[in-house]
Structure 1
Amino acid sequence: MAEGNLAFLENKCPFANCLVTDDSYYFSDISQFDAILFLGRDISNIKMPSVRSPKQVYVFAAQESSANYPLCDEYLDGFFNLTWTYRIDSDLYLGYFTILDLAGNVVGPAIDMKWPDVLEPTCDELKIKLRSKSKLAAWFVSHCSTLSDREGLVEEVQEELRIYGLSVDIYGTCGTLTCPTKEPELCYEMIERDYYFYFALENSFAEDYVTEKLLTALNNFAVPVVYGGANYSRFLPPGSYLDGRELGAKELVNQMIDAVNNMTKYYDFFRWTNHYVYENRIQANEICKFCEIMNDERKISDMSVRDDFRRWWNDENYYYNCLE
């Protein structure tokens, strides 16, 4: 979030009198801050405040996966008043993208996402664009060894694809192909023009951890192949993606080949475009909600702490990360 109150002004928040700063010496006494925000990836390396005002709000904020940044210190249970993370059940949501309907209303992501029972057929104009594609799949990647072992999945997929004389084209430091990072729009144009599928694989498995990789596929008219620890029905309409973790390499390849050989099936992956838009931005209402909370003295005085923080944050990895 930008320093000062710019974020609250730009988003036309009902309250814009909150001031954000990264200067811990802005006040002579750190207990004078109404709220202190702690970044999850930095907590293990920072000196915690020695004094805390009874009215001071401690906020835990994170966009990095809990699997990559586990937090196991016992004092963290009962330490934070608010959570502001990529997890949808956080007090404030800090996801990598926002889902809007065609009227511009924010509709997701959400735990209980309500997708239409029937999605309208893909329009003819988009079908023409999709018919120009000629390459099976691409993957842009710079981290070659990950907790999720996504590289292992791709290796298995490559083995399955050799039967068909095909492969996943890998761009970046982990592959043999390059695309100009200083001109990303050229890379996106290439995805839109050439590739049927795009591998949107996460580096670790964690609840609701779905990053902007997904938008590379969705906003460039390629079908996303996902791989992560999230329940993807919270993020994507049914029939709009393939789940590599769920399908496994062999079945994933079977479904990719089947869709390319039957364009009617391939077109159906894009029915969502008649209903939704995906944007790479934080939800404005979450930014505004924070300042509203800070202006509500009653809410602050009644605010409790999260006693189960470690179990919540580390989710399914809690036992392995913290109790072994």
Structure 2
Amino acid sequence: MEKADVILIHVRSVESREKLIQDLAPRNPSQPWVMFDPETHIMSNQHLRYKYRILNGIFNRTFHHRRDSDILMVHGFIVRRGSDANLLPPSWRKEPILWPTTNRTKLAVAFISNCKDNSGRLKYIREFKQFAPIDVYGNCGSLKCGSSRFAQHEYKPDTDPCMINAGENYLFFFAFENAICEDYVTEKIYNLLYYPMVPVVLGAANYSQLLPRDSFINARSFTPKQLAHRLTYLATHPQEYVKLLEWRQYYQPSTVGGARVFCDLCTHLHDPLFYQSNVYHDFYEWYVVKANCNRNGTMRFSN
């Protein structure tokens, strides 16, 4: 432990401040302690029960989904087709399905296995179903297909039979996050972009910075009833629906997977600036307050 260049600490695994310090003692002052968490504080550590102030003054660097992290955890990105895409390693460059190959008859689908409704997504979907149909797969729905689609090194969205089935049968894919927090977006949005479905997103990320223009529908701009009417209109007006797929002619998605994100950590370890003195004295302020989370589905939707 003492010879390591850095100590990566998964917030979810921390039981107490005292045990953490004891387990990692003696602390090398030239060895950065990096907070790592792919989730938000709402979903992270059940041991601490949100008492994250006990971690004040512990961490030197942060590895998180927030854009103000020292190391940004990303699950994918969009790249221009052709010469730009060809610069990527082959494993990052999977040719997406540009246009529907079947006559799709179903409106919307969602894959949800975490049923803690911190974001209000399940409540939103229940209300949506009063006005339009949606199939929900996973622990939170009545349908089953495969296992969790959490970011894993071996997971390949372009060969996932459940995603292939969704792409062949559904017009819209509900990519609803489990928490409404600053910059929080997970792998689901990039996984589904291999298929010619239109993402319906719900989260606090700036989707306009992440996705091409006119490529998605933001559920936070609609009440569930309004969204149902909007999707039904698009489904019955194919000339309007296809406009949301036109971006696929010019751009394509690339997923990086669970293991790839650690390459960014490795890159930082070769940067002398990464080792400069830095302490998150008020970790609670950074991790919880600045996350700007809107819990328990209390967000307001457009009227």
Render the CA deviation track for 1:155-197: whole Å, top value 9, x for unaligned: 1000122xxxxx1012233323233449973222211111000
Determine whether 1:62 maps to 2:37.
Answer: yes
Structure 2 residue corresponding to 1:144, chosen from 110, 115, 121? 115
Partner of 2:20: 47
Matches for 1:6-21 after TM superposition, within 5 Å: none
Q: Percent same amino acid at aligned positions?
A: 29
How far apart are residue 94 of structure 1 and its match?
1.5
Q: How many angstroms does 1:295 deviate by?
A: 3.8
Q: 1:187 aligns with which of 149, 162, 181?
A: 162
Which one of the candidate residues 212, 215, 218 is aligned to 1:237? Answer: 212
Say which SS state the counterpart of residue 47 (structure 1) adopts. helix
Return the index of the structure with the highest Cα Rg. Answer: 1
Equivalent residue, structure 2, for 1:175: 141
Deviates more, 1:179-188 or 1:307-316: 179-188
**Inter-CA distance 292–148: structure 2 relative to 1 (3 Å threshold):** closer
122, 128, 134: which one aligns with 2:105: 134
- 1:93 is aligned to 72
Counterpart code for 1:303: S
Q: 1:246 aligns with which of 221, 226, 243?
A: 221
Counterpart of 1:316 (choices 292, 296, 301) is 292
Give the match's secondary structure for 2:181. coil
1:148–1:300 distance in 2 versus 1, CA, 3 Å: closer
The TM-score with structure 1 as length reference comes to 0.72
Alignment of 1:95-110 (within 5 A): 95-102=74-81, 103-104=84-85
Name the SS of the counterpart of 2:281 in structure 1.
coil
Mapped pair 1:273 → 2:234: no
Name the aligned partner's letter for residue 292 of structure 2.
Answer: E
Q: Which residue number corresponds to residue 280 of structure 2?
A: 306
Corresponding residue of 2:174 = 199
1:155 aligned to which of 113, 118, 126? 126
Mean alpha-carbon deviation: is it higher for 135-144 or for 180-189? 180-189
Q: Deviations over 1:241-269 (max 9, x none)?
A: 11223312011112101111211211111
Q: Is the 8 A contact 2:179 2:293 kept in 1?
A: no
Q: Take 1:234 and 1:308, find their aligned partners in 2: how far apart are those partners? A: 29
C-alpha displacement of 1:307:
3.5
Paired AA for residue 55 in structure 1: S
Residue equivalent to 2:92: none
* Equivalent residue, structure 2, for 1:210: 185
Describe the shift of the 1:238–1:312 C-alpha distance in structure 2 as closer, same or farther (beyond 3 A): farther
2:301 corresponds to: none
How far apart, in 1, do the equivalents of 2:64 and 2:168 lie? 34
1:5 aligns with none
Distance 1:307 1:318 in 2: 24
Are the equivalent residues in 1 in contact too, given 2:58–2:280 (CA < 8 A)?
Answer: yes
Task: Give the deviation of 1:39 after TM superposition.
Answer: 0.6
Which residue in 2 is equivalent to 1:109?
none
* 1:289 CA drift (Å): 4.9
Equivalent residues in 2 for 1:116-131, closer than 5 Å: 126=98, 129=100
- So what's the TM-score if we normalise by structure 2? 0.76
Q: 1:308 to 1:265 in 2, by over 3 A?
A: farther
Task: State the Cα RMSD in Å.
Answer: 3.1
Question: In the comparison of the two structures, how many residue pairs are matched?
Answer: 266
Tell me the alpha carbon deviations over residues 89-137 of structure 1, each in whole angstroms, 9 at most, x when there is no partner.
Answer: 211122222332222268xxxxxxxxxxxxxxxxxx955x267211101
Letter in 2 for 1:210: V
Q: Provide Cα deviations, 1:12-55, integer angstroms capped at 9, x if missing partner.
A: xxxxxxxxxxxxxxxxxx44432100012112355333432221
The gaps in structure 1 that reach 5 residues or longer are 1-29, 107-124, 162-166
1:266-318 CA-to-partner distances (Å, cap 9, x unmatched) read 1111122123222221599964553344345x535533223343222222249
8 Å contact from structure 1 (residues 311, 318) kept in 2 = no
Q: 1:62 & 1:253 partners in 2: Cα distance?
A: 35
The answer for the alignment partner of 1:8 in structure 2 is: none
SS of structure 2 residue aligned to 1:160: coil
